[in-house]
Amino acid sequence: MILKKYTDISEVDFVAGTTILIDKPLEWTSFDVVNKVRYALKRLLNVKKIKVGHAGTLDPLATGLLILCTGKATKTIDSIQSLFKAYEGSFCLGASTPSFDAETEPNYTYPIDHITTKLIQEKTNNFVGTIDQKPPIFSAIKKNGKALYKYARKGEKVEVPTRKIQIHKFDITKTEIPNLEFRVECSKGTYIRSLAHDFGHALGSGAYLSSLIRTSIGEHDLKDAWNLENFISVIDDMSLSK
């Protein structure tokens, strides 16, 4: 069962398993959302344990569709993660940051006077299809059993291998230099932060991701997602009425 916003969830069997569409709030980690929902469900069901997992991480500074699975539905997480995803957001040109987004302060600045709408369109086309992408050093990808961001926070240098990802669509929807708004559809494993970083260099400048919203995962759309606090409120009301 897919739990969309305003769905009547009074008869849902969370242990047998269901899939919940959540609109992740800004500055929350994906695990924060999982823990919040898990805690609420444990109160509702009066149990010590219940399986809850998410099907694809969103960074703290990103918002949008986060899919949670409970109970036996956690077995479907891998298949959901493999679906194409769509995002909207913005890049800031003329600077780069160590994290490739606004989590860290700019460490380099670059010229932007030469950037034209024509150049932007030409370079956008180069990022459609199967491409090699290097994930950010500030990421949870593990090397030698240790998350890359742990190396980064200690200032340790580590080689990050590239990997092949697929970008189905990449459109610049608004240009107000130094800010660009975009829409992208991409495969599992794509880092939009890396796309911002690489796109800036392709323009002969620099760029970092300044905002990001995940709008869909496969056929699941953000417009159908629960506001997190509303979902928790419904669960808490059910707990009190038992």
Please give the positions annotated as active site. 59
Distance between CA atoms of 36 and 138, rounded to whole angstroms? 25
182 Cβ partners below 8 Å, 6+ apart?
Answer: 88, 89, 90, 91, 170, 171, 172, 173
Distance CA 82, CA 188 (A): 6
Report the run of H or E that residue 228 belongs to, with start and end.
helix 228-241
Please give the helix or strand (H or E) that residue 79 lies within, else none: helix 77-81
The SS3 of residue 177 is: coil
How many angstroms separate the CA atoms of 99 and 51, rounded?
31
Q: How far apart (Å, rounded) are the C-alpha atoms in residues 102 and 223?
A: 26
Q: Scan for tokens 């769905």, then name that residue.
A: 7
* Cα-to-chain-centroid distance, residue 108: 25
CB of 165 closer than 8 Å to CB of 189: yes
